[in-house]
Amino acid sequence: MIKIGMMIGDRYEILEKIGTGGMSDVYKAKDHKLNRFVAVKVLKQEFSENANFVSKFRVEAQAAAGLMHPNIVNVYDVGEEGGIYYIVMELVEGITLKKYIEKKARLSVKEAISIAIQVSMGIEAAHNNHIIHRDIKPQNIIISKEGKVKVTDFGIAKAATSNTITSNVMGSVHYTSPEQARGGYSDEKSDIYSLGITMFEMLTGRVPFNGETTVAIAIKHIQEELPSPREYVPEIPVSVEQIVCKCCQKSPDRRYQSMAELIVDLKQSLINPDEDFVKVIDPDEEASTRMITDKDMAQIKRQSDKRDSMEEAMRLKKDNGRAYVEEDEDEEEDDWESDEEDEDYDPKMERITTILAVVAALLIGCIVIFLIGKTFGIFGFGSSTVDQEETEDAEQVEMIRVVGMDVDEAKAALLELGLTPEIQYEVNSAYDAGTVLRASVQEGLMVDIGTNIILTVAESEEGITVPGVTGKSQTEAVSILENAGFVVNVTQSYDSTVESGYVISQSPEENTTAPEGSSITIRVSQGTEENKVRVPDVIGLTEMDAVANLTESGLTVGTVTQVTNEDASLTDLVCYQSYSVGSYVDKGTAIDLRVSTGPSQVTYRYSEGITAPTEDSDYQSGMSVTVTVTTEDGTQLLSTQTSSFPVAVNYTGIKSATGVITYTFTVETEETTTTDPDTGETVTTPGTSTEKTVTREISFTQE
């Protein structure tokens, strides 16, 4: 734990806290070795406990320390002391670009472009050293009192994204590129996108995409087109608008391919702001198929003629020479020569020949395919029964064994096969509650996809009556069942007789009994079969990956909530989705997600008075003692110096059950003088100073 006045690395004295972020706190400190003020960024405790994160953090910070540029906040040192991981950086007295924009509402075009050029130059220096920032935003850009623009926080973003840090912690979802929002690979062009969003905010005073949740904003980065900055500020020059739009293209291939290209256009916009000089690259258009023209055909033929053999070339050369010699004698030869220059090419005849050749090839191909098909029985003529059987096979699946399985596992397995499970309960004390006793379809039989499979499940005691919800709307049905104490699973199917959004059937059925808290599956109509979307499986994915999967499937994301989940492997991953995997829903349907924060964790408190270290007989009341309290996992709760005991402490939320109190104090002896009785010689013994350490194990109280 960082305290004001403490010394880090035997050289950096912490003076005051000057900032805080999602991952770290920043302090002003004095470097006593070089006698200068520096900024010390200290990694927060929750990230310090992740060894993988710390390793990547250290490697990236060390790489950033090699960057030296006027537009980069330079990194001087990287270190660790007592579980505290820190980076020592250049101290820049000034204001962040974010606060500067808020202060001025929006910047003038010239000022915004000037800042963008300086930022680009700093990022370019990093890219040239193969370092990608990945978190460009106004909060990470500082304007010094002298007007110098500097980019900070190099190296931290990569370590964070490699450890599935959420966008709330990163604090940069407003500026993230589409490929980062999808959780995909990001490179230098991701920094260009983020800089484009930053320029948009400088020019307009607002970010282009906003929403109630980080997920909603991320989806907009993936799906929605960037609004023109001129919609908000009409006086923005056309070249500046085009630069921002090119930076913020969804496809990285359509953006500027390097910071150097961007800097050239930014400087040009300062000189000729109203000129249309920005080139927008469309790789799809450049790679598209084009119809060949007559001119292209003539050029191809000329190039083909040039590739003739040397013998043919020499023969033509000889014939051409003879033609020129006999030019005065034979006018026809002169005409032939002229025709030779025109390549003797008739485009119309060439097209007719090509068409006839294609038609002939198609006819021959059809005849060959027909003969082969007839030989092997592929086409008709008595093979209709085989075709029908193959079609039926393609629409059927083999029933699996579910007897003895847990009902939830059996349901998931059946849904994955495309079958619809229906549940009915039977009191049976011989089996654990929730065990499948039997199924309506025998194992190994082939059944049609979509078939209802009735599972009879063991119930240890009489349950509660299941209310009937058939014919009710989905919302009303879910409300009724949840109020009755059940968990609701929703499946979808087409039904031309039941209005879309209303319940076709339920399992268990109405007026049967089921244990309180058990699952009730309702089958909801999608109406007549239309263009529907199949719900993908996003359980076990990161929030960003789940958003990308759902978005690409044509669905939207509803509410995303953080919950505890006893499955430790799902920590920081999606552990619940509101629609069953494989069910069909309308395009644009909102899928609610729950992200696991991990198993519920036991925490402890330590609230008592710390007594003096009387275990050591050399300790005397009034001595100055340094007292530290450290938990078993290395977290330091207290570090103080006192001469008065007991020391009152009150800590909560401790993650370890035990810890250690360490006392450090100095024992001094006074100088003594003795006289030798035989010789009368006087001997002086100097005083001593001995540092003593006492440790005491302690236990914390569970909260």
135 carries an active-site annotation: yes
Residue whose C-alpha is closest to residue 638's, from 3, 17, 85, 50: 3
Buried/exposed code over 655-694 (b: 16+ C-beta within 10 A; e: otherwise):
ebeebebbbbbeeeeeeeeeeeeeeeeeeeeeeeeeeeeb
How many alpha carbons lie under 13 Å from residue 22 in its C-beta half-sphere?
17
CB atoms within 10 A of CB 389: 10
In whole angstroms, give the CA distance from residue 378 to residue 297: 41
Q: Phi then psi for 437, rounded to 5 degrees? A: -85, -40
DSSP 654: E
Contact 522, 569 (CB under 8 A): no
Tokens describing residue 588: 């644009």
DSSP 502: B
Q: What angle separates helix 310-325 from helix 331-341, to the nearest 10 degrees?
A: 140
Among 77, 135, 153, 265, the active-site one is 135
Q: Which long-range contacts (CB under 8 A, 24 or more apart) does 382-386 make?
A: none
Task: Evaluate the omega torsion of the peptide bond into residue 508 and state whether it is cis, within 30 degrees of 0.
Answer: yes
Please return the burial class of 173, using the count of CB atoms within 10 Å of its CB with bins 0-12, 13-18 and 19+: buried
Element (H, E) at 359: helix 347-376
Contact 499, 474 (CB under 8 A): no
Q: Where are the alpha helices (DSSP H) in 404-507?
A: 407-417, 474-483
Tokens describing residue 645: 């005991």
Active-site residue list: 135
